[in-house]
Structure 1
Amino acid sequence: MSRNSMFKLAFIAGVAATASACTTLPSFNEAEYVSAFDGASVVENKTRYSRALECLKPMVGGNGPAAKRFAVGRVSDFTGKEDLVNGKRITQGAALMVISALAKTGVPIVERFDTSIADMELKYSDNKLITDSPENKAHRQIFSGSLPGSDYHIVGGITEVNYNIKSGSLESSIRFIGAAARYFVMNVAIDLRVVNTKTLEVVNTQSLQKQIIGTELNGGYFRLFSDGLVDVNAAERTQEPIQKGVRMVIEQAVFNMLTEMNNLPSQNCALLVSNNPEKQQQTAAAAPTKVRSTNKAIELTPPPSLSETQQNNDSVLIDPYTGEIIKQNNANEASASNTTQSQSEVTELKGLFGTNAAAPEQQAPSNTTREMQEKLLWGSRPQIR
C-alpha cells in the first residue's frame, strides 16, 4: 500500500471517529412526546333545520301505546360518483342521518338497520350461553312477543350529485394590482319514502334537493424593481360541505314526512329554519310594538271642552246629508230637525228644476234657487248656526 493511500485511509478513519463522537443516539428511557394540537372543541352536529325538528317533539314525541314506532332501512348512495383516489364522493351514512333526524323529533324508534349483535345474542340465548346474572349463572330466557315491532319504516337513497351546474368568474388588473372572484354551484338530491310495515303501503314520499355554493376571492400585487421583486398574493376559498348538505336535505325530508302524516301545521316550526334564530325572534317580537306605536299616532284629537251649561243644554251634531254643523238644545230636537231638513232639502231640489205644486207650503222661503245652485256646484259648506 502506497503512502498516499495510507494517508487517505487514516483521514477517513479520523473523520468517522470524530463524527461518531459528536453524534449521540436518542435516549429511549425518557421519551419526549410532542403535544398534539387540539383544535376546535367538539359541538353538537346541528343544521339550520334541527330547530324545526325539535319543535315537533311536543306534537309527535312520546312513548305511549298510541305512539307510532319508526324504523330506518337502507338509505344508500345511488349516485355512482367514485374515483380511484378519493373513493366515494357522497356519504355512505345517510341512514344514520335519518335516524338522528328522527331522534330529534322524539318519535319512538326501533332498530332495524344493524341487528347483528341482537341476532347473535338471541342465538346464544337459544343455546343457553348468555346470562344476565353472572352470580346465579341463570341463562337468559327467550319470551315470545318481547320485541316491539315498527309501524312505519323509512327507506330510500341519495339519487343525484351534479357538479358545476353553474360557474362564473370576474378578473381584473390595473397596473400592478390584480383581483379575481369566482363561484360555482352544484347540487345533491335524495328520494325517501315512508312504508307501512304491516301492509307495505307507501304512505309518504319526499324528493328534495339542495344547491351547494362555493366561492373564491383572491388578489395580489406584483411589481419588478431594479433591485428586487415584490409579489404579494392573498386568497380565500369557501364551500358548503357536501356531506352536511346531504344531512340538511334529509332533515327537511323527515320534517315534511312527520308534518304531512300527522296533519300538523308546519308554519310555526318552519319559521325556526334560519341561520340566526335569535335575530328572527327579536324581529318577530318587535313587530307588534311597531303596530301599536302606529295605532297611537292615528288617535283622534278630543273635541274642545265645553262648559257645564253647554254640556247640559246644547249638543253639537253634524248633518249627514249636508255636512253642516248644527247646535241644538237636546238630542230629540236634533233628530226632528234632521228629518225636517232632509225633507226640506228634497223639496228645494225639486224646486230647482220646477215648482213643487203638491206641497208648496213645505218649500223653505229662505233658500232661493241661487243658493241651491251653489250647493250643487260647490258642495255643502259647513255653517254654524
Structure 2
Amino acid sequence: MTLKQQRLAPGEEPVLIGAAARDNRTPMDPALACFSAQLSAAQRDRLVIAVGDVRDFTGKYSVSEGTAITQGGALMVASALGKLAGPVTLAERFDPTIGERELGYTERRQLGDGNAHSVSGATGASNVPWLPYYGGSIAASDYYIVGGITELNYNIRSGGAEVRVGQVGPKVRTYTQSVAIDLRIVDTRSLLVARTVSLTKQFTGYEVGFNTFRFFGSELFDVNLGAKGQEPLQLGIRTTLEEATMRLVGAVAGVDAQGCIAMQSWNPAISLPPIGFAERADPVSKGAVVTAQALNTAAQPGSGTGDGVALMFEPGSSDLGGSALALLDRVAGAARAAPVEVRIAARDVEVLEPAKRDALTDQRIAAVVAALAARGVGKAGIALRWRPAPSDTTLHRGEAGAQNLARLRIGG
C-alpha cells in the first residue's frame, strides 16, 4: 500500500492520504445482479419493501473497543434492497422524521415551495402561498424486513504449533469464530410473517511468526517477525444479511434465489444495476411505437461487436425469460420495417471452455430463432453476423458485467 502526504491548506501540517473511496463491494454482488435480472424477467408487479429495526442482539461489548457487532444492520439490509434496483422499490420507514415533520408543517399551512396555489373555499377559489394537502401522498409498502444479529461465538476452534531450538523457532496459530442472523419478512397489511430465515457464517484467522531470544557474544537479541489476519467481521455480516435479504424477497416474489446464491464469488468486474428508488416510466409498456432505429441504438457504443439490442441469458441457461420474450416481440414488430441488430449476451461471470461455450451458444441461437418463428419471422429473415471461433478463448466484453456471444440481423 502506498501512502503520500498532502498539505490541504497553507500553514497546516501535511496529512497522510491513502486509498480513494470506492463502492462497497461484497462477494454477494454477482448473486445480487443475477437475482435482479431474474426478478425483472418474472414480470411481476414491482414490490415495495420497507426495512424495520435489524438490531444487534448479541450484547457483546468491550470496554476498550465498544460493541463487537455492527449497529447498522438495518442500513445494510436497505443497501441490499437498493442493489436489486428496478424490481424492488425501497420504502423509507426506518427514519421518516423529516417527512413526518414536513407533513406537520403542511397541516399547519406553513410549508410552501415559493409558488402560489389555487384552493377552493366558501367564497370561491383563492391563491395561497402554502402547499395544499389532500392526503394519500405516502406510498404503502407491501412487506417489511425486521430481525437482528443473534449470535457471536468467540474461538469455537483454535489450534497451532510452536517449535524452538535454542530459543529460536517459528510459530503458527489459527482460530475460528462465528456469527448468526435471524430475519423475517412481514406482510404490512396483515402483519403475518411471510418467511423467516436464519443463517450462520464462520470467520477464520491466522497468525504466523518467527522468534529468536538469545545471546550473541555479550549482546542479547530479542527479535520477533510475523503476520496475522482475519476475514473482516462486519463485511461478513453484511454478506450474510445480503443473502438473507435475497432469500426473503425471493420467497414473497415467487422467484427462487438459490441458483443465483450458488454463484456468489469475489469478482470485482461484476456491475450491479443502478440503484434507484423512484418510479420509472416505461414508454414501451404504455404502447409507444418502437422503431428499428431505436432498437439498434439501444446499446452503448463500443460494446465489442457493434450496437443493437442485447438479449441477455442467465449463466449456463438457454431459456428465454419473460423480459427476453417481450423484447423479441418488439424486435419482430420493428424488423418488418427495417433490419434490427440483436446481440446474444450473457453475464461475464459465465466462463466456459470454448467448446462448451460454442455448444451453449448454438442452443441460445436456436431458442431465439424458434421464438422469432413463433412471431412470424422465418429463418430466411435471420442472418448470423458474428460469433467467436470455436477455438477462441477471448472474453468479448459488452456492456458492464456482460459478454457478447453472437450477433444476428433480423429482417431485411
Residue among 85, 92, 98 paired with 1:111: 92
Shift in Å at residue 31 of structure 1? 6.6
CA contact (8 A) 1:50 1:251 kept: no
The alpha-carbon deviation at position 220 of structure 1 amounts to 2.5
Larger RCO (CA within 8 A; separation ≥ 6): 2
Q: Within 2, Cα distance between the matches of 1:290 and 1:149? A: 45
Counterpart position of 1:97: 76
In structure 2, what residue type is equivalent to 1:103? Answer: G
Equivalent AA in structure 2 for residue 213 of structure 1: T
**Whose helix fraction is larger, Structure 1's or Structure 2's?**
1
> What is the distance in 2 between the residues matched to 1:98 and 1:291?
39
Q: 2:199 is matched with which residue?
A: 208
In structure 1, the residue matched to 2:179 is 188
Distance 1:119 1:278, change over 3 A: closer
- CA offset digits 1:259-306 (Å, max 9, x no partner): 3333334454234311347799688411745998xxxxxxxxxxxxxx
Contact 1:157 1:192 in 2 (8 A): yes
> Is 1:286 the counterpart of 2:353 in the alignment?
yes
Query: Could you tell me which residue of structure 1 aligns to residue 309 of structure 2?
Result: none
Deviation string for 1:75-96 (max 9, x for gaps)? 1111111233332221111000
* Structure-to-structure mapping, 1:151-230, within 5 angstroms: 151-175=142-166, 177-230=168-221
Kept in 2: contact 1:69–1:109 (CA 8 A): yes
Contact 2:243 2:261 in 1 (8 A): no
Q: Deviation string for 1:286-340 (max 9, x for gaps)? A: 1745998xxxxxxxxxxxxxxxxxxxxxxxxxxxxxxxxxxxxxxxxxxxxxxxx
Report 1:45-56 matches (<5 A).
Answer: 45-56=24-35
Q: Which has the larger radius of gyration?
A: 1
Distance 1:166 1:65, change over 3 A: closer
* Equivalent of residue 251 in structure 1, options 237, 242, 254: 242
Amino acid at match of 1:123: G
The structure with more strand, counted as a fraction of residues: 2
1:60 aligns with 2:39: yes
Q: State how far apart, in whole Å, the 1-side matches of 2:75 and 2:47 are.
A: 20
Measured in 2, the distance between the counterparts of 1:221 and 1:232 equals: 5
Q: How far apart are the structure 2 equivalents of 1:220 and 1:38? A: 33
- For residues 84 and 278 of structure 1, the distance between their equivalents in structure 2, rounded to whole angstroms, comes to 40
Q: Count how many residue pairs are aligned between Structure 1 and Structure 2.
A: 262
C-alpha contact (below 8 Å) 1:97/1:250 kept by paired residues: yes
CA contact (8 A) 1:61 1:105 kept: no
What SS is found at the alignment partner of 2:157?
strand
Structure 1 residue matching 2:133: 3-state secondary structure: coil
Contact 1:61-1:108 at 8 Å conserved across structures:
no
Name structure 2 gaps, 5 residues minimum. 1-8, 118-127, 271-314, 316-347, 360-412
Deviation of residue 120 (structure 1)? 0.8
RMSD over aligned CA atoms reads 2.9
The 3 A distance-change label for structure 1 pair 278 and 75 is closer
* Contact 2:116/2:130 (8 A) holds in 1: no
Q: CA deviation at 1:54?
A: 2.0
Partner of 1:233: 224
Identity, % of aligned positions: 37
Deviation string 1:215-246 (CA, Å, 9 cap, x unpaired) is 11111234412242333321101012221121
Determine if contact 1:182/1:217 at 8 Å carries over to the other structure. Answer: yes
SS at the partner of 2:141? coil
Preserved contact between residue 156 and residue 176 of structure 2 (Cα < 8 Å): yes
Runs of 5+ unmatched residues, structure 1: 1-29, 293-385
Distance in structure 2 (CA, Å) of the matches to 1:282 and 1:118: 41
Once the two structures are TM-superposed, the CA of residue 49 in structure 1 deviates from its matched residue by 0.8
**1:112–1:215 CA distance, 2 compared to 1 (3 A):** same
What's the CA shift string for 1:148-175, capped at 9, x where partnerless? Answer: 1000000111111111111112111234
Equivalent residue, structure 2, for 1:32: 11
Residues 283 and 174 of structure 1: is their aligned pair in 2 closer, same or farther, counting only changes over 3 Å?
Answer: farther
**SS in structure 2 at match of 1:130:** coil
Letter in 2 for 1:113: F
> Does the 8 Å contact 2:30/2:267 carry over to 1?
no
**1:272 counterpart = 2:263:** yes
Pair 61,128 (structure 1): closer, same or farther in 2 beyond 3 Å: farther
Aligned in 2, Cα 1:126/1:213: closer, same or farther, shift over 3 Å?
same
Q: Does 1:42 align with 2:21?
A: yes
Paired residue secondary structure (1:168): strand
User: CA separation in 1, counterparts of 2:354 and 2:161?
Assistant: 40
SS of the residue corresponding to residue 59 of structure 1 reads helix
Cα distance in 1 for residues equivalent to 2:258 and 2:148: 27
Q: Contact 1:214–1:240 at 8 Å: present in 2 too? A: yes
